[in-house]
Structure 1
Amino acid sequence: MIRGIRGATTVQANQAEEIIKETKKMVEKMVEVNQVKPEDIASVLISVTPDLNATFPAKALRLIDGWKYVPVMCMPEINVPGSLAQCIRVMMTVNTSLNQEEVEHIYLNEAIKLRPDLLGKD
């Protein structure tokens, strides 16, 4: 079955090192809790808010062992007034045997505000 796994995080500053560090941390958590292997991944879409342009967050995924051939694309997030700033969002499309309600979406740092209804799900 093909499923989408969501992830989001924020950074404190528009700095390449922090963007890469926080993106890698989020994606590694997404694959860990959902038991995803690189060969299970169809593609990964990453969006960033307009205030983040120091680097492509997709570079973080190239630091993960076995991810050389995983298709990744970055894009800007819609600039909605009052929305969460300095935010990196991920949509990972994977092949999995998990039921939709079993998929664990990962929200870190200030991004926990985005989907409080999904937090605390065991």
Structure 2
Amino acid sequence: MALHNDKGKEAEDLVKTWLSGKGYEFQHANYRYGHAEIDLIFIYKGLLIFVEVKYRSGTGYGYAEEFVDSTKRKLLVKAADHYIHEKDWHKDIRFDIVGVYRDRNGNVNFKHFEDAFY
């Protein structure tokens, strides 16, 4: 596996643990439908939450949330629609982005964008 894939998987695991610690109920990781993939899916306060995780070792090239463009959003919505139908979900949903940032000392910080798009 390529180094960027390892970092992405590590970031997803960190976010899964972090959100679970905040009361989010983990449902699924790396849900795929066609060419689309949803990194993490949770239930929180009655909402089904689809989470896109973006890892950055710094902000020199931009912030994590800037890398979820309209094409990626459309793919995420398409996969979410399939998941909703598959699970027969009839309540509200939300799309979040979580940026994972590692500083020069190896410390990890999270930036959570709730209801980032739809």
TM over 0.5: no
TM-score, length basis structure 1: 0.32
TM-score, length basis structure 2: 0.33
